[in-house]
Amino acid sequence: MSRRGTRDAIKRLKDAREPGYFVPMPTAVLSSPQAAALSPHACKLLLDLVSQYRPGRNGALCPAWALMKKRGWRSKATLAKALRELRGTFLVMTKQGSYHHLVSLYAMSWLAIDSAPPGIEYNPGVTSTRTAAGTWRDGMTLEMRVTSRAARPSRKNCLADLVRQAHRLGTAGVPLGAG
């Protein structure tokens, strides 16, 4: 296909859909058991936050009451409960808010975190990434994932444990089938 033909095909595709931004939400996320287990309020909040997404702004999604009230939310308690359900699995906190007019910001966990917008600083330890956190896959929060990796002994320590065990048993070497 010629360059002109390609441009015409892209124009036809753009004209065939609604104007506006595209929201990248893979079917793997939508059809996951974790998504199926979400409450209706958590599903609505996830869609409301995904609708805020713009290219290069993953990490600046804001569930502030003032914004969510305009989207039809009627209870701060319900909003907080839905946010707690999503936090750590489908959403990764990039900036912790405070009571005095500072909002918390989040990123979708199935996309890489983009660099902070001008005038905003992410929490210490949160940086832009090239790959997605992927915490939605197994239902583990990012904190649980980091803890489980730290708690897991390294291969070197496993071999040292086997050698110690063999010494205690009085055998000359590592038992067969180990490793």
Highest-confidence range of 4-8, 82-86, 167-171, by mean pLDDT?
A: 82-86
Residue with the bigger pLDDT between 161 and 62: it is 62
> How far is CA 22 from each of CA 14, 19, 52, 95, rounded to the nearest angstrom?
11, 9, 11, 25
Domain boundaries, the chain: 26-138, 141-179
What's the token pair of residue 5? 């033909």
Confidence of residue 161 (pLDDT cuts 50, 70, 90): low
Least confident of 25-39, 48-62, 127-141: 127-141
Q: Is 131 left (phi over 0), alpha (psi -120 to 50) or beta?
A: beta
Confidence of residue 48 (pLDDT cuts 50, 70, 90): very high
CA–CA distance, 36 with 10 (Å, rounded to integer):
34
pLDDT of res. 178: 47
pTM: 0.67
Contacts 24+ apart (CB under 8 A), 43-46: 44/82, 45/79, 45/82, 45/83, 45/86, 46/86, 46/90, 46/91
pLDDT tens, position by position, 92-143: 999 988 777 788 999 999 998 888 888 888 888 887 787 777 777 775 444 4
pLDDT of res. 18: 77
DSSP 2-39: -HHHHHHHHHHHHHTS-SS------HHHHTSHHHHTS-
pLDDT of res. 2: 64
Please, what CATH class does the domain formed by 26-138 belong to? mainly alpha
pLDDT tens, position by position, 65-104: 999 999 999 999 999 999 999 998 899 999 988 777 788 9
For 60, the 3-state DSSP assignment is: coil
23 in Cβ contact with 47 (< 8 Å): no
Neighbours of 62 (CB within 10 A): 15
